[in-house]
């Protein structure tokens, strides 16, 4: 079986890491499947991929503060960049000839770049799946965005299945939208995606950190400066915090900010910074606890590795992280701190001190909460059985 996955990757690492986790889970459990990931991430080559998983990188684009986009790396217009991406996606699909095509989050892709491929593969009988994270955004903002993009029409016309990588007791990602029954009937909650990390024998020198420590992660880091600043202020305010802090600023944080944070950290004996680690899961496993912003992948890792955590969610330009953190705190899985409280640094210092003794997620996690990858594997198995049923019988004829 050939599985094609599309990840538009205009900001951060979330989409790529989610698609990579799914791909690795599939090839680990099956010997009869190959996965090709289409991605615009500029650092996709920094990640390792298992046998029978490969990727095609199309030209990257960057989301601007005003909501628009610009080409990343190439001195071309955004229109030309999208045209190139659309051509590469369509060509890869035609050549790879997948049995199943999974699109991550964006029903029509960035600026509709996936629609020609959806039409083409629909005509060939390829099974089309939209994968959605647990929470997309505030209902009102999502309604406006999807109306503008014609997303609901795409869900109705193109897709055979809609997989929600979460649980209904946390959130219904289509809540507040005028989703017809034909779309609702395609919806399946898989559960969250459990993460794992094989122990790495030879960690690079930069990852030889002194233990014990708490891990501070911003994900991609493009919007993580406020979190890093808050943690550093906590250590500057309270020099006697007993826990060491390992801050991974992220590859997309502005270089000037990274340089400033490293200078501040170098003056604090309890703090170390790293710009990026492709082995973040292993760093999390070794930690006493986690301080993070609360993106989807970070939550999956915190729950998978059963780490007490402090979540400081962003609230702009999307409310996704805040909604997720609020729901998870209500369930007793994490502790949330707002980034706009006046006593922020002092409250963070206190929370860091208490973090190692904070309750672990496993004490409150419902059964089956992290069954997402298992459910996806079952769905793939069912799809393969259907494909085999419609394959014409092949008769071998002797040349004699």
C-alpha dihedral (177, 180, 186, 188), degrees to nearest 10: 40
Tell me how far apart the alpha carbons of residues 312 and 55 are, in angstroms, rounded to a whole number.
33
Mean pLDDT along residues 341-346: 89
Lowest mean pLDDT among 10-14, 18-22, 145-149, 265-269: 10-14
Query: Scanning the structure block, which residue is given the tokens 């190692």?
Result: 356
DSSP 234-260: HHHH-TT--SEEEEE--TTS-HHHHHH
pLDDT at 26 over 70: yes
pLDDT for the residue numbered 395: 43
Across all residues in the chain, what is the average pLDDT?
90
pLDDT at 321 over 90: yes
Q: How confident is the model at residue 392 (pLDDT cuts 50, 70, 90)?
A: very low
Report CA-CA distances (Å) from 42 to 168, 220, 255: 34, 12, 16
Lowest mean pLDDT among 120-129, 239-248, 271-280, 373-382: 271-280
pLDDT at 147 over 90: yes
Q: State in Å, rounded, how far the first CA of the chain is from the last one.
A: 32
Top-confidence residue, 315 or 109: 109
pLDDT for the residue numbered 67: 65
pLDDT at 187 over 70: yes
Q: Which two tokens stand for residue 83?
A: 């045209």
Would you call 314 exposed, middle or buried from its count of C-beta atoms within 10 A (0-12, 13-18, 19+)?
buried
Mean pLDDT along residues 197-205: 53
pLDDT for the residue numbered 202: 47
> CB atoms < 10 A from the CB of 394, how many?
5
Top-confidence residue, 64 or 343: 343
Residues 6+ apart with CB under 8 A from 40: 7, 8, 9, 10, 57, 58, 59, 60, 61, 72, 85, 110
Mean pLDDT along residues 163-183: 94
Tell me how far apart the alpha carbons of residues 117 and 132 are, in angstroms, rounded to a whole number.
19
pLDDT at 206 over 60: no
pLDDT for the residue numbered 201: 45
Residues 6+ apart with CB under 8 A from 24: 49, 50, 53
Q: How confident is the model at residue 274 (pLDDT cuts 50, 70, 90)?
A: very high
Helix, strand or coil, per DSSP, at residue 342: coil
Q: How confident is the model at residue 198 (pLDDT cuts 50, 70, 90)?
A: low
Beta bridge pairs of residue 123: none
Lowest mean pLDDT among 217-226, 234-243, 391-400: 391-400
pLDDT at 200 over 60: no
Lowest mean pLDDT among 8-22, 111-125, 147-161, 284-298: 8-22
Give the pairing of strands 69-71 and 61-63.
antiparallel
Give the closest residue to 45 by CA, choosing from 218, 283, 278, 282. Answer: 278
Would you call 48 exposed, middle or buried from its count of C-beta atoms within 10 A (0-12, 13-18, 19+)?
exposed
Lowest mean pLDDT among 98-107, 270-279, 356-365: 270-279
Contact call for residues 309 and 335 (beta carbons, < 8 A): yes
Helix, strand or coil, per DSSP, at residue 109: coil
pLDDT for the residue numbered 389: 53
Report CA-CA distances (Å) from 141 to 35, 252, 283, 318: 33, 25, 35, 8
Query: Scanning the structure block, which residue is given the tokens 């680990």?
Result: 28
- In 166-279, beta strands by DSSP E: 187-189, 213-217, 244-248, 271-274
Query: Which domains can be identified in the chain, with CATH numbers?
Result: 2-193+371-390 (3.40.50.2000), 205-363 (3.40.50.2000)
Q: HSE-up of 261 (CA within 13 Å, CB side)? A: 28
Helix, strand or coil, per DSSP, at residue 163: strand
pLDDT at 282 over 80: yes
Contact call for residues 177 and 147 (beta carbons, < 8 A): no
Contact call for residues 385 and 127 (beta carbons, < 8 A): no
Instruction: For the chain, give the longest Cα–Cα distance.
Output: 87
Give the closest residue to 117 by CA, choosing from 5, 34, 26. Answer: 5
């Amino acid at each position: 079986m050939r599985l094609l996955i599309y990840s538009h990757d205009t900001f951060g690492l979330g989409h790529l890491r989610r698609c990579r986790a799914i791909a690795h889970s599939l090839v680990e459990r099956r010997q009869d499947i190959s996965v090709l990931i289409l991605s615009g991430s500029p650092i996709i080559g920094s990640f390792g991929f298992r046998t029978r998983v490969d990727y095609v990188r199309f030209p990257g684009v960057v989301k601007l503060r005003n909501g628009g986009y610009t080409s990343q790396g190439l001195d071309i217009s955004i229109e030309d960049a999208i045209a190139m991406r659309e051509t590469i996606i369509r060509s890869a699909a035609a050549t790879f000839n997948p049995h199943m095509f999974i699109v991550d989050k964006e029903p029509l892709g960035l600026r509709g770049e996936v629609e020609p491929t959806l039409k083409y593969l629909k005509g060939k009988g390829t099974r089309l799946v939209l994968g959605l994270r647990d929470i997309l955004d505030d209902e009102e903002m999502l309604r406006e965005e999807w109306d503008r993009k014609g997303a609901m029409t795409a869900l109705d016309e193109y897709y055979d299945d809609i997989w929600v990588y979460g649980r209904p007791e946390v959130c219904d990602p289509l809540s507040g939208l005028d989703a017809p029954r034909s779309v609702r009937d395609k919806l399946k909650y898989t559960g969250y995606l459990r993460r794992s990390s094989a122990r790495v024998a030879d960690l690079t020198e930069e990852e030889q950190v002194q233990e014990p420590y708490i891990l501070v992660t911003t994900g991609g880091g493009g919007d993580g400066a406020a979190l890093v600043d808050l943690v550093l202020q906590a250590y500057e305010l309270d020099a006697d915090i007993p826990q060491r802090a390992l801050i991974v600023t992220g590859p997309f944080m502005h270089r000037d900010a990274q340089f400033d944070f490293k200078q501040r950290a170098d003056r604090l004996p309890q703090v170390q910074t790293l710009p990026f680690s492709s082995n973040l899961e292993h760093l999390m496993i070794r930690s006493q606890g986690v301080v993070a912003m609360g993106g989807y992948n970070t939550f999956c890792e915190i729950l998978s590795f059963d780490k007490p955590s402090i979540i400081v969610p962003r609230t702009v330009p999307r409310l996704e992280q805040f909604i997720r953190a609020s729901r998870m705190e209500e369930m007793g899985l994490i502790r949330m701190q707002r980034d706009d409280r006046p006593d922020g640094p002092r409250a963070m210092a206190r929370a860091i001190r208490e973090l190692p003794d904070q309750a672990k997620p496993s004490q409150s996690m419902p059964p089956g909460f992290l069954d997402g990858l298992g459910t996806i594997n079952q769905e793939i198995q069912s799809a393969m059985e259907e494909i085999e049923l419609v394959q014409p019988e092949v008769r071998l004829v002797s040349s004699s």
